[in-house]
Amino acid sequence: MNATLGSGFVALGLTVSLLGVLNTVRGLATRSAVHLARTRWYVAAVAVAAVGQFAVMERALITRDFTMAFVAQHGSHRTPALFNVATLWSVLEGSILLWVLILVGYLVLVACRFRDRLTDPMVGWVLLVMLVACTFFFLLLAGPAHPFGRFDPWPGFDGPGPNPLLQNHVLMAFHPPVLYLGYVGFTVPFAFAVASLATGRLGEGWLLETRRWTLLAWGCLTVGILLGAWWSYEVLGWGGYWAWDPVENASLLPWLTGTAYLHSVMVQERRGMLRVWNLSLLCSTFALTILGTFLTRSGVVESVHSFTESGIGPMFLAFFAVIVATAVGLVAWRGDDLRAEGSIDSPVSRTGAFLANNLLFGAFAFVVLLGTMFPLLIETINGNRISVGNPYFDRMTMPIGFLLLFLMAVAPALPWGRAGTEVLAKRLQWPVVAGVAAMVVAVALGGRGWATVLAVGLAGFASGGAVRQLALAVHSRGLRGFVGRSSGGMIVHIGVAIVAVALACSSSYVRQAEVGFMEPGDRSMFAGHELVFDGLERVELAEKNEMRVRVLVDGDLFTPAITYFPFAGQTIGTPTTRSTWRDDLQLYVLSVPEKEGDATKVWVTVQPLVWWLWYGGGVMAFGTLLAAVPDRRRRRDEEPVERAAAADVEVPK
Reported as a pLDDT band with limits 50, 70 and 90, residue 646 is: very low
Confidence of residue 643 (pLDDT cuts 50, 70, 90): very low
Who wins on pLDDT, 15 or 389?
15
Distance, CA of 428 to CA of 433 (rounded, Å): 9
> Is 653 in a helix, a strand, or coil?
coil
Across residues 461-475, what is the average pLDDT? Answer: 91
Please give the C-alpha separations between residue 338 and each of 129, 207, 330, 646, in angstroms, as whole numbers: 21, 14, 11, 19
pLDDT at 306 over 60: no
- State mean pLDDT over 27-34: 93
Q: What is the pLDDT, as a whole number, of residue 343?
A: 65
Mean per-residue pLDDT of the chain = 87
pLDDT digits (tens, 9 = 90+) for 126-174: 999 999 999 999 999 999 889 999 999 998 898 888 888 888 788 888 9
Residue 531 has pLDDT above 80, yes or no: yes
Q: Which ranges constitute the DSSP H helices of 545-599?
A: none
* Lowest model confidence (mean pLDDT) among 486-490, 525-529, 584-588, 646-650: 646-650
Say what the pLDDT of residue 651 is.
Answer: 41
The reported pLDDT for the residue numbered 78 is: 86
pLDDT confidence of residue 382: 76
pLDDT band of 344, cuts 50, 70, 90: low
Determine contact, residues 585/604, Cβ cutoff 8 Å.
Answer: yes
CB 283 within 8 A of CB 364: no
pLDDT classification of 446: cutoffs 50, 70, 90: confident
Rounded distance, CA 100 to CA 9, Å? 12
> By the 8 A CB rule, do 400 and 367 touch?
yes
- Is residue 533 predicted with pLDDT exceeding 90? yes
Distance separating alpha carbons of residues 73 and 480, to the nearest angstrom: 53
Cα–Cα distance, 131 to 191 (Å, whole number): 10
Locate the domains of the chain by residue range. 1-162, 163-417, 511-610
pLDDT (0 to 100) of residue 270: 79
Whether the predicted model's global pTM rises above the 0.85 cut: yes
Q: What is the pLDDT of residue 648?
A: 45
Per residue in 117-132, pLDDT (tens digit) is 999 999 999 999 999 9
CA atoms within 13 A on the CB side of 641: 19
Q: How confident is the model at residue 256 (pLDDT cuts 50, 70, 90)?
A: very high
Task: Tell me: pLDDT of 304 over 70.
Answer: no
What confidence score (pLDDT) does residue 491 get? 95
Let me know if 116 is exposed, middle or buried by CB neighbors in 10 A (0-12, 13-18, 19+). exposed
Rounded distance between C-alpha atoms, residue 510 and residue 495, angstroms: 22
Give the pLDDT mean for 281-291: 92
Q: Are strands 523-526 and 600-608 parallel, antiparallel or unpaired?
A: unpaired
Task: Give whichever of 370-384, 387-401, 560-574 has the largest mean pLDDT.
Answer: 387-401
Residue 568's Cβ-side half-sphere holds a number of Cα atoms within 13 Å equal to: 24
Q: Which helix (H) or strand (E) holds 81?
A: helix 81-86
| Low-confidence winner among 5-19, 537-551, 598-612 (lowest mean pLDDT) | 537-551
The residues, ordered by sequence, that sit 6+ positions from 587 with a Cβ below 8 Å of its Cβ are 549, 551, 553, 558, 560, 575, 576, 577, 602, 603, 604, 605
More confident residue, 541 or 180: 180
Give pLDDT, residue 439. Answer: 94
